[in-house]
Structure 1
Amino acid sequence: MNIGDKVYLKAVGNMAVKYKDQLLIKESKITKVGRKYFEVDGVKFKMENKEQETGGYTADWKLYFSKQEILDEQEFQKLERDIRSKFNAFGKLDLTLDQLKRINEIINE
């Protein structure tokens, strides 16, 4: 990670509730880089796992390095919901996006 690298922030937690009518995604750049943390628009993220440093509170932002990562995550969640509704299943599925797409094609034929 370097200063000036482009990143994308997606609203989560309380920030997502505040903007519930719309998906809030901000394109931004890394402004500071340290040993343990880096900053984007004044928001600190941990270097080790890219999670927001919250000081014990709920995170407001989730960091991504491309907009496609966000779109893939949304598609995954939608397919997961659709498949669960077909099978009335709960819990986390241990499947990839491609596997979910193929399952979705099969069950919707």
Structure 2
Amino acid sequence: MRTGFLTVAHVVVHCDGCGDRYSEVRYDQMCFTSVNEAIAYITGRGAGIGWAYDGDKVLCDGCLASARCTEHGHTFSEPRRRLLGSKPDFRTCSVCGISETEIEEES
């Protein structure tokens, strides 16, 4: 039985794009006993929640979405018709979540 203070080594996965830690529960992190175990888990389970490992880098769902939009462009729905005098309807990309106004500011 282990008691007291222990030094335990484990593997934690971080996104190579933004540095976010892999987690399935907010503010919790997954710990693995080896890099191989982490890779097997990410490639098997991670695809279901958006993380991907390509043999070199591991990327979170947000970085994958941004990369997709950089390569193929953003995907916006058709603007809804608004009543005369009402505020404009700002659309967001259905892939990465960036708003149309943020893209205009970057230009």
Q: Same fold (TM over 0.5)?
A: no
Structure with larger Rg? 2
Under TM normalisation by the shorter chain, which class is it? under 0.3
Larger RCO (alpha carbons 8 Å, 6+ apart): 1
TM-score, scaled relative to structure 1: 0.28
Larger relative strand fraction: 1
TM-score, scaled relative to structure 2: 0.28
